[in-house]
Amino acid sequence: MQDSEIHKLASRIEELSTDLGVVLRLIDEEGKSLGSELPCTIPSLSVALAVNSGTRSTTSNEGIIISVIPIIVRGKRFLLAVFGEVTSDTGYKALSKIPELLVRGI
């Protein structure tokens, strides 16, 4: 992926934050944001666990719940950082956005 595509992806992910009630950031495998500034620092252990295990890692920092989720987009590895509690309601809100995202061509 080119830098412009990565920036566009990061922006679109961040746009979903309002709809889902959590803050979303696309980050690299070092825990650095590829879009807007992070609400708080992500502990390096959480990033390392997500990268090395290939599964979600959840922790808290500064009173904020942080989940780090490995994702692959067009063959490139990224991490999705979720700041806030992910509830079943959050999941249903995310599922309801899928048709719109498909239409937009993500």
The structure's pTM equals 0.88
Question: Is a pLDDT exceeding 80 seen at residue 1?
Answer: no
Give CA–CA dist 71/92, Å, rounded: 19
Please name each of the domains of the chain with its CATH number: 3-104 (3.30.450.20)
Q: Which residues contact 85 (CB under 8 A, 6 or more apart)?
A: 22, 65
Tens of pLDDT, residue by residue over 27-80, are: 999 999 999 999 999 999 999 999 999 999 999 999 999 999 999 999 999 999
Extract the tokens encoding 10: 């990061």
Task: Find which of 18-22, 31-35, 98-102 is predicted with most confidence, using mean pLDDT.
Answer: 31-35
Contact 29, 51 (CB under 8 A): yes
